[in-house]
C-alpha cells in the first residue's frame, strides 16, 4: 500500500492487535481487582499511535498521555513489564511506583506517559529543544488529546516550537470527547488543526481510524521536523469505544454512536485492505492473532508470577544520589 | 574580592555555562534586557541567544521546557522573573519535575534549577513581594535553596546546577546589592548544610535569607545588652540540616526562628516541630518562638509593608523577652 512495505504493514497490524488485546486483558485484570486505581483504555484508537510511531524512526522520541498504553506498545514496549507495572510489581517498568498512567521506557525513547492533561506537551518541547541544541537529528512526537488542546500549555508550547523551529510533531488524538465533553461543545473551530494557523505552522486533520493515512501524514511532518523546518500540528480524528475511565457510565453518548464508529474499526478495516491489496491470507492473519495471544499470555503470567514491589523501593527514587545513573 | 550578591550569582552562571556545554539559561527578558533585575546584562553578547534563551510570556510551558530539556541531559537554569509567577509553572514543578524520577522508577534524572527572586521591601505590593518557599516545602523530590550572602549564593548556585535533582533557588531582591567576600578560586557550598554564622550562648536564632542579615544586626544590639545570640543560617530549606540547630539549642536552651514568609505553615513551624521532636526539647528554658511575616498580603504603603515582616527591632525585643524572663517562674506566677 503506497510506500509502506508489506513487512512493515504486517508489523503495524501486529502492533494494533497487540494494543487491542493488551487493553482487553488489562480491563479483565481490572475487573478482577488485580489492577487498582484507574485506567484509561484506548480501544478503537490504535491506528493513531501505530501509524504515527511507525512513521518516525526507532531512535526518535515520544511523550505520551494518561491514555498511553498504545503509544508504549507501538514504540516497542515490553508487554511483560507493562502488565507487571499494572499489577504493582517490582519487575514493572517503574517498579510498581507509577502504574498505568506513568509508563515510560527511556531506552526506547518513550519520555513518559502523564497523569496531567496537557503536561507532556511542554516536556516534549523541552526535549525537542535539547535535541536541537545538541545538534542531533532525532525528533519528538508529542501525543495529547482533544481535551489537552484546551490547556494553556498546548498554545504556549506550539508557539515556542514554532518560533524556535523545533524538531517536534504535535499529534492530537481527537477521540471526540474530553471525559464527557464533546469536542463540538468546547472547540469553536471545525477542526482542532485549524488552530495551527495562529502559530504559522501547518495543521492537518487526518482520519485517525485509518492507519495508513495517519502514517503518511505523520511521515511528512516528521520529515519537515527533521529538516529543521519546525513543527506540524496533526489532528487524528478517532474514537474510544470504552468510557473515559473505569468510572464512566456512558451518560453522554449513545450506543448507536458507538456502533457507527465501530464500523470504521481501524483493525478490521486494515485487515480488509491488507487482504485486498497485499494478498494477505486468512491463515496469515490467524498466525498473527495467535502470536499476539501468546505474547499477552506470557505477559500476564510474568506479571502474576513477579513479586510485589519491595519496601526499599519506596525511598530509592525520590532523589537521584550523587554519581548515580 | 568584595562582590555583590547579584554579581556572585552572575559569576556562578557564567562559569557554569563556560564549563559545561549542557548548561543554559531560559526565561523572560534575560537577553538584551538582562532580566528584570539586570542579573544577566551582557550575557547574551557573551554566550549567544541559544544559551541565554529569551522566552515568550509562557511560564507554565517554559518551566516544562526546562523539565524536558533536563531529562534529555541538559542542565537548564530557568529564571522565573518574580517568584510570585511560579504559580504558572506549578504543575511542571510539582507534578512533573518533582515526581518524574519517582514515577518512572528511577529511569531518569532531572538536573534542573529554577532561580527566582522573592521577598518584600521593594514597595511592589502583593503580587510582586511574596515568599514562596512554604508552597513547595512539602513537595518531595524538590530541593530548596535560599542563600543569604554573596559567598553562599555563588557556591550554592554552582552546586545546584551540578545537582541531578530539581532545585528551587530562591534569591532575595533586597540582597542583590549587598556585598561580601567571594574568593577568586573555584569553590562549592554543598546543598543540605546549615552554617553557624555567629556564636553565642544565650539564644539560638535560626534565620533564613534576608533575615540572616537582620538577625546579625540584631545580635550586635543584643550584645550591647549582654545577650549573646547564636545565629544559624540553614542555607538549604529542603532538605533541612537540623543537627547543628539541635546542638545549638542544647547549648543556648532557647530557639527563635526568623523568616519573612507568612508565619502560618512556614519554615519556622517545620524547624520548631523538629526541635520539639528532638532531645533539644528537654533543654529548653523558654517556649519555642517564631517571628514570621504577618498573615496578610504584602501592602503597597511603605510603612505598612515594613510592619508586615520581621524587622531588626522585632528580633531584638523577642530575643530579650526570651532571655530576660524566667519562664518557669512565670508559670507559677500565673498559676
Phi-psi region of A41 (alpha: psi -120 to 50; beta: other; left: phi over 0): beta
> What are the grid coordinates assigned to B199, written together?
556564636
Do B96 and A95 count as a contact with CB atoms less than 8 A apart? no
For residues B305 and B285, give the distance between their C-alpha atoms in angstroms, rounded to a whole number.
Answer: 33
The nearest CA of chain B is from the CA of A97 a distance in Å of 5
**Which residues on chain A are in Cβ contact (under 8 Å) with B62?**
122, 156, 160
pLDDT digits 0-9 by tens, B221-274: 999 999 999 999 999 999 999 999 999 999 999 999 999 999 999 999 999 999
pLDDT, mean of residues A41-50: 97
pLDDT of residue A204: 98
Phi, psi values for residue B25, rounded to 5°? -110, 140
Of the partner residues A126, A160, A163, the one whose CB lies closest to the CB of residue B67 = A126
Active site residue B28: no
Considering the domain boundaries, does residue A171 fall inside one?
Answer: yes
Instruction: Give me the numbers of helices (H) and strands (E) for chain A, helices first please.
Output: 12, 7
pLDDT of residue B321: 95
pTM for the whole structure: 0.96
For residues A77 and B49, give the distance between their C-alpha atoms in angstroms, rounded to a whole number.
Answer: 38
Considering the domain boundaries, does residue A1 fall inside one?
Answer: no
Give the ipTM of the model, two decimals please.
0.96
Does residue A1 carry a pLDDT above 70?
no
Considering the domain boundaries, does residue A150 fall inside one?
Answer: yes
Whether A245 contacts A304, CB under 8 Å: no
Phi, psi values for residue B216, rounded to 5°? -65, -40
Does residue A325 carry a pLDDT above 80?
no
pLDDT of residue A314: 86
Sign of CA dihedral A21, A270, A145, A91: positive
Interface test with A, best of B64, B96, B190 (most A CBs within 10 A): B64
Do A129 and B68 count as a contact with CB atoms less than 8 A apart? yes
The nearest CA of chain A is from the CA of B98 a distance in Å of 8
The nearest CA of chain B is from the CA of A271 a distance in Å of 35
Q: Which CATH superfamily is domain B2-181 in?
A: Thiamin diphosphate (ThDP)-binding fold, Pyr/PP domains (3.40.50.970)
Considering the domain boundaries, does residue A249 fall inside one?
Answer: yes
Q: How far is CA A133 from CA B29, B50, B214, in A?
A: 20, 8, 44
Chain B's closest residue to A114, CA to CA, is: B96
Q: Does domain B195-334 have CATH number 2.40.50.140?
A: no
Active site residue B172: no
For residues A317 and B143, give the distance between their C-alpha atoms in angstroms, rounded to a whole number.
Answer: 14
Considering the domain boundaries, does residue A65 fall inside one?
Answer: yes
**Which residues on chain A are in Cβ contact (under 8 Å) with B91?**
116, 119, 153
Task: Label residue B210 by pLDDT band (50, 70, 90).
Answer: very high
CA dihedral in degrees (B316, B318, B323, B328; nearest 10)?
170
Q: Which of B195, B261, B259 is nearest to B230 (CA)?
A: B195
Does residue B335 carry a pLDDT above 70?
no
Lowest mean pLDDT among A197-206, A240-249, B33-42: A240-249
> What are the grid coordinates assigned to A11, written together?
508489523
For residues A300 and A216, give the distance between their C-alpha atoms in angstroms, rounded to a whole number.
Answer: 34
Residues in chain B: 335
Interface test with B, best of A64, A114, A129 (most B CBs within 10 A): A129
pLDDT digits 0-9 by tens, A222-242: 999 999 999 999 999 999 999
Q: How many other C-beta atoms can be found within 10 angstroms of the C-beta atom of residue A254?
A: 9
Q: Among all chains, which residue has been given the C-alpha cell 550572602?
A: B149
Q: What's the half-sphere exposure (Cβ side, CA atoms, 13 Å) at A280?
A: 22
pLDDT of residue A312: 84
Distance of CA B308 to the CA centre of its chain: 19
Using a CB–CB cut-off of 8 Å, the residues of B that contact A are 24, 50, 55-56, 58, 60-74, 76, 91-92, 95-96, 100-110, 140-141, 143, 164-165
Do A116 and B95 count as a contact with CB atoms less than 8 A apart? yes
Work out the angle between the directed axes of helices A47-55 and A6-31 (0-180°, nearest 10). 140
A49: CB partners within 8 A, 6+ apart? A19, A42, A70, A71, A73, A74, A75, A143, A173
Does residue B280 carry a pLDDT above 90?
yes
Considering the domain boundaries, does residue A139 fall inside one?
Answer: yes
Chain A's closest residue to B62, CA to CA, is: A122
Q: How many domains does the structure of chain A reveal?
A: 1
For residues B30 and B227, give the distance between their C-alpha atoms in angstroms, rounded to a whole number.
Answer: 46
Whether B98 contacts B64, CB under 8 Å: no
pLDDT digits 0-9 by tens, B108-136: 999 999 999 999 999 999 999 999 999 99
Q: Domain containing A187 — which CATH number?
A: 3.40.50.970
Whether B300 contacts B271, CB under 8 Å: no
Q: Which of B28, B59, B133, B171 is catalytic?
A: B59
The SS3 of residue B150 is: helix
pLDDT of residue A83: 98
Whether B63 contacts B79, CB under 8 Å: no
For residues B171 and B149, give the distance between their C-alpha atoms in angstroms, rounded to a whole number.
Answer: 10
Host domain of residue A201: 6-316
Does residue A60 carry a pLDDT above 90?
yes
pLDDT of residue B104: 96
Angle at B278 between CA B273 and CA B283, to 5 degrees: 105
- The pairing of strands A177-178 and A181-182 is antiparallel
Angle at B252 between CA B246 and CA B257, to 5 degrees: 65
> What are the grid coordinates assigned to A173, written together?
488524538
pLDDT, mean of residues A79-84: 98
Do B71 and A156 count as a contact with CB atoms less than 8 A apart? no
Domain spans in chain B, listed from the N-terminal domain onward: 2-181, 195-334
pLDDT, mean of residues B191-216: 98
Angle at A86 between CA A105 and CA B111, to 5 degrees: 35
> What are the grid coordinates assigned to A186, written together?
468546547
Angle at A35 between CA A31 and CA A40, to 5 degrees: 80
Do A159 and B72 count as a contact with CB atoms less than 8 A apart? no
Q: What is the DSSP letter of B82?
A: S
Sign of CA dihedral B263, B264, B269, B270: negative
Q: Which of A256, A305, A235 is nearest to A48 (CA)?
A: A235
Task: Label residue A249 by pLDDT band (50, 70, 90).
Answer: confident
B243: CB partners within 8 A, 6+ apart? none
**Is A284 exposed, middle or buried (CB count within 10 Å of its CB: 0-12, 13-18, 19+)?**
middle
B146: CB partners within 8 A, 6+ apart? B133, B169, B170, B171, B172, B208, B209, B235, B236, B237
For residues A119 and B95, give the distance between their C-alpha atoms in angstroms, rounded to a whole number.
Answer: 9
Q: Among all chains, which residue has been given the C-alpha cell 554543598?
A: B190
Amino acid at each position: 500500500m503506497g510506500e509502506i512495505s508489506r513487512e512493515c504493514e504486517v508489523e503495524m497490524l501486529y502492533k494494533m492487535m497487540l494494543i487491542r488485546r493488551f487493553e482487553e486483558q488489562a480491563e479483565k485484570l481490572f475487573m478482577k481487582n488485580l489492577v487498582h486505581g484507574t485506567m484509561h483504555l484506548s480501544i478503537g484508537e490504535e491506528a493513531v499511535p501505530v501509524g504515527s510511531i511507525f512513521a518516525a524512526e526507532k531512535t526518535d522520541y515520544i511523550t505520551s498521555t494518561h491514555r498511553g498504553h498504545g503509544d508504549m506498545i507501538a514504540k516497542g514496549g515490553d508487554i511483560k513489564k507493562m502488565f507487571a507495572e499494572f499489577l504493582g510489581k517490582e519487575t514493572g517498568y517503574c517498579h510498581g511506583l507509577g502504574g498505568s498512567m506513568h509508563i515510560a521506557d527511556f531506552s526506547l525513547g518513550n519520555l513518559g506517559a502523564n497523569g496531567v492533561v496537557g503536561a507532556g506537551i511542554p516536556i516534549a518541547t523541552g526535549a525537542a529543544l535539547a535535541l536541537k541544541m545538541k545538534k542531533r537529528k532525532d525528533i519528538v512526537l508529542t501525543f495529547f488529546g482533544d481535551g489537552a488542546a484546551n490547556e494553556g500549555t498546548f498554545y504556549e508550547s506550539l508557539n515556542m516550537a514554532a518560533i524556535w523551529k523545533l524538531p517536534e510533531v504535535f499529534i492530537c488524538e481527537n477521540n471526540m470527547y474530553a471525559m464527557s465533553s464533546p469536542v463540538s461543545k468546547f472547540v469553536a473551530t471545525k477542526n482542532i488543526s485549524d488552530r495551527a494557523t495562529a502559530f504559522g505552522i501547518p495543521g492537518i486533520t487526518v482520519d485517525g481510524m485509518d492507519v495508513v493515512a495517519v502514517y503518511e501524514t505523520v511521515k511528512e511532518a516528521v520529515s519537515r521536523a527533521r529538516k529543521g523546518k519546525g513543527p506540524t500540528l496533526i489532528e487524528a480524528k478517532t474514537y474510544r469505544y470504552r468510557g473515559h475511565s473505569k468510572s464512566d457510565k456512558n451518560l453522554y453518548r449513545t450506543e448507536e454512536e458507538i456502533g457507527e464508529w465501530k464500523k470504521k474499526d481501524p483493525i478490521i478495516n486494515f485487515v480488509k485492505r491488507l487482504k485486498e491489496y497485499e494478498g494477505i491470507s486468512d491463515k496469515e492473519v490467524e498466525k498473527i492473532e495467535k502470536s499476539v495471544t501468546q505474547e499477552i499470555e506470557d505477559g500476564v503470567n510474568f506479571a502474576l508470577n513477579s513479586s510485589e514491589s519491595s519496601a526499599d523501593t519506596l525511598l530509592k527514587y525520590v532523589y537521584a544520589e550523587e554519581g548515580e545513573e | 574580592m568584595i562582590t555583590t550578591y547579584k554579581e556572585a550569582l552572575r559569576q556562578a552562571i557564567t562559569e557554569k555555562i563556560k564549563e559545561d556545554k549542557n548548561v543554559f539559561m531560559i526565561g523572560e527578558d534575560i537577553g538584551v534586557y538582562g532580566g528584570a533585575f539586570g542579573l544577566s546584562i551582557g550575557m547574551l553578547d557573551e554566550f549567544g541567544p541559544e544559551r541565554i534563551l529569551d522566552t515568550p510570556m509562557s511560564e507554565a510551558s517554559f518551566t516544562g521546557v526546562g523539565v524536558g530539556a533536563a531529562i534529555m541531559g541538559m542542565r537548564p537554569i530557568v529564571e522565573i522573573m518574580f517568584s510570585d509567577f511560579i504559580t504558572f509553572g506549578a504543575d511542571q514543578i510539582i507534578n512533573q519535575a518533582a515526581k518524574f524520577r519517582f514515577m518512572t522508577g528511577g529511569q531518569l534524572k532531572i538536573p534542573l534549577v529554577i532561580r527566582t527572586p522573592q521577598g518584600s521591601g521593594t514597595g511592589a505590593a502583593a503580587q510582586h513581594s511574596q515568599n514562596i518557599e512554604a508552597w513547595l516545602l512539602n513537595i518531595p523530590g524538590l530541593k530548596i535553596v535560599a542563600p543569604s550572602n554573596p559567598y553562599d549564593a555563588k557556591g550554592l548556585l554552582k552546586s545546584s546546577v551540578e545537582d541531578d535533582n530539581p532545585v528551587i533557588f530562591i534569591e532575595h531582591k533586597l540582597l542583590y546589592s549587598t556585598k561580601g567576600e567571594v574568593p577568586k578560586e573555584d569553590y562549592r557550598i554543598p546543598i543540605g548544610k546549615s552554617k553557624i554564622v555567629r556564636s553565642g550562648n544565650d539564644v539560638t536564632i535560626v534565620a533564613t535569607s534576608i533575615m540572616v542579615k537582620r538577625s546579625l544586626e540584631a545580635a550586635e544590639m543584643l550584645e550591647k545588652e549582654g545577650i549573646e545570640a547564636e545565629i544559624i543560617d540553614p542555607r538549604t530549606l529542603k532538605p533541612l540540616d537540623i543537627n547543628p540547630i539541635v546542638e545549638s539549642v542544647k547549648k543556648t536552651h532557647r530557639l527563635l526562628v526568623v523568616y519573612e514568609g507568612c508565619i502560618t505553615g512556614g519554615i519556622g513551624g517545620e524547624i520548631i516541630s523538629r526541635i520539639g521532636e528532638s532531645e533539644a526539647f528537654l533543654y529548653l528554658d523558654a517556649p519555642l518562638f517564631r517571628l514570621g511575616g504577618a498573615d496578610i498580603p504584602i501592602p503597597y504603603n511603605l510603612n505598612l509593608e515594613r510592619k508586615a515582616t520581621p524587622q531588626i527591632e522585632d528580633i531584638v525585643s523577642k530575643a530579650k523577652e526570651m532571655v530576660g524572663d524566667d519562664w518557669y517562674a512565670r508559670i507559677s506566677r500565673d498559676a
